[in-house]
Amino acid sequence: MSPATTKITLPNGTSYEQPTGLFINNEFVSGSSKNKIEVTDPNTGKSIIEVEAASVEDVDRAVAAARAAFEGDWSSVPAIQRGALLYKLADLVARDRELLAAIDAFDNGKPYGDALAVDLDEAINVFRYYAGWADKIFGKTIETSPEKLAYILQEPLGVCAQIIPWNFPMMILAWKVAPAIACGNSVIVKPAEQTPLSALYFGKLVQEAEAPAGLINILPGHGGEAGAALAGHLDVDKVSFTGSTATGRNIMRAASSNLKNVTLECGGKSPLIVFADANLEQAVKWSHVGGLFNQGEVCTSTSRIYVEDSIYDKFVELFVKEVKAASKVGAPFDDGTFQGPQVSRAQFDKVMKYIDIGKQEGAKVEMGGSKVEGDGYFIQPTIFTNVEEGMKIMTEEIFGPVVAIGRFTDEKDAIRKANNSSYGLAAAVFTENMRKGHKVAAKLAAGMVWINSSGDSHFGIPFGGYKSSGIGKDLGPYALDSYTQAKAVHVNLGVDL
């Protein structure tokens, strides 16, 4: 029995029909259990809607559908047609761009303008980028001797499980679905239980694009059940996960069931280094965006700031002034909102706990440090100064609007402090001396380094980290390697035994 859709009226006045079922084999279907996911509006703390929560049995159904699609007609579809499907999906997402952005703003709590100009525009570009790649994924021949022909086939992996985080729901769905489909795989998407609505709506676009049945499946569900079942499933060939490092470790353990291919984009505690010769005004503005954009719910957030001693006090003064002026806290659909609510009560409580820890550890609260009065999960943008190396607010990922600022004495000290972390996702360096900038960037243990900016990624450039920040890369041509495998073929042209 197909579950009914539910009419939702968004705060901006837009009404639409929201699917609430599991999307399997190109149909919205009821789950095999009575489990539901309650979706909450973080702006008010009130329930929005309930959607189906996938069980282990539902995971089995989706995997079977994805396997049948991969081994059926999809395996013989010309590459140019794979690209055509992705172009069609890009056009449909572009058509419904404003609605999808509004859904994510409502469901996640992020400012609508950011959801529109950052998340949705990126998603559209990613679908188009990989649509262009679909017929350009090929192998090669390797010269060995006149008696032998050797060539390499670049083949799809098969059934790919893709576990999406709640901070950029539609954007990261595109990051994962588009390259996997371009390479010829089938996929099962598990959106975060906090933000399943835009992914389910995307299922309607998959239907409208007339994608082959079972090619793209969407399973809202709880991580401990549906996510674990996907990661450990013996008929899943790959799992791609974006989320916390702790969950990434659990996924890696589960994926060992059949040694499936794994891509993990996990947590970070990214440093931002400001040298005395930096353009201080620009360093302050980029530090604000790099540390507090998207409510601080960004894996690459440069929330761990190190400033050279001689300009420390001046930087703090200007930074506090910038944050007070530019970090307007408000509802996602209010004009001028820079910071919305945290995504959930659990995330709100986690951030507030870290703020309390920072106070107890002796760091100075330059501004913020409290809940915003009223409904919803709003936290004041918070700046800690005089933060020492061992403090938890300097070493652990908070994932909220909290920035910690410490000092360094010289270049060597800055590099040592920046690398003193179990994470290695991103880093930023501010200096007007480009020789110094390149030198420091080369010595930072991070998968991404910005010089005189922070957080400005691009879909054509690989995204991923070192150390506990993950394995493998999203985006750019590097993501294609994550969704293909090389097969060597040896042809004997005349050697007799």
d(C-alpha 49, C-alpha 332), whole Å: 18
Residue 374 Cα to chain centre, angstroms: 30
The one-letter code for the residue type at 49 is: I
Q: Write the DSSP string, 219-240.
A: ----IIIIIHHHHH-TT--EEE
Catalytic residue among 193, 265, 297, 397: 265
User: In this structure, are strands 470-471 and 466-467 parallel, antiparallel, or unpaired?
Assistant: unpaired
* Residue 1: pLDDT over 60: no
371-416: pLDDT as tens digits: 999 999 999 999 999 999 999 999 999 999 999 999 999 999 999 9
**What is the SS3 assignment for 277?**
coil
3-state helix, strand, coil in the chain (%, to 5): 40, 25, 35
Phi, psi angle pair for 457, to nearest 5°: -80, 170
388 is catalytic: no
Q: How many CB atoms lie within 10 A of CB 374?
A: 7
Q: How many CB atoms lie within 10 A of CB 291?
A: 28
Domains defined along the chain, listed by start? 5-266+470-486 (3.40.605.10), 271-451 (3.40.309.10)
312-357: pLDDT as tens digits: 999 999 999 999 999 999 999 999 999 999 999 999 999 999 999 9
Short-list 4, 41, 40, 1, CA closest to 20: 4
The one-letter code for the residue type at 402 is: V
8-26: pLDDT as tens digits: 999 999 999 999 999 999 9
109-158: pLDDT as tens digits: 999 999 999 999 999 999 999 999 999 999 999 999 999 999 999 999 99
**What is the SS3 assignment for 297?**
coil
